[in-house]
Amino acid sequence: MFGKILVAVDGSEHAYKALDVAGDLAEKYDASLLVAHIIVKPVIPSYFEGLAVEKAEQIYKTLGSEIAEKIFAECEARLGDRSLNSMKTAVAEGEPARAITDLAEKEAVDLIAMGTRGLSGIRDVVIGSVAHKVTILSRCPVITVK
């Protein structure tokens, strides 16, 4: 039924619960697991330009990659001794919902798993959650975990 499952993780407890569910499904269906973290690019006003902006973006990307590695280590620990077909990690940049669905299409995944709440906080209540946007944009099934 599912050959490849993408689970989006941001370090939140809901994301780790989604990882647990995705791990169970991957084990049950002998599917490969793709653990993905999205680095959200900072919004820098257009009137700022030059070397300072480039340096800020580099620093932000480096920090995002370091955070992703810590999250991936936690994911490996949480998955423990499950007998998974395979597990890969991926880091993408951009607006989270679009980055997740673009990665899902690129990797030809059969299912996306993600938490219903992440680290973005009150902003999601006002403009809509990433999980909701992913369910709208995705061409494959999406399972959300509370």
Asked if residue 30 has pLDDT above 60, the reply is yes
The total number of structural domains that make up the chain: 1
Average pLDDT, rounded, for the chain: 89
DSSP structure class, residue 113: E
Q: Which H or E run contains 8?
A: strand 4-8
SS3 of residue 9 by DSSP = coil
pLDDT value of position 55? 83
- Among residues 122, 123, 102, the alpha carbon closest in space to that of 112 is found at 102
CATH number at residue 89: 3.40.50.620
Query: In terms of residue numbers, what domain contains 129?
Result: 4-145
Compute the average pLDDT of residues 75-79.
Answer: 95
pLDDT value of position 119? 52
According to DSSP, the residues that pair with 62 across neighbouring strands are none
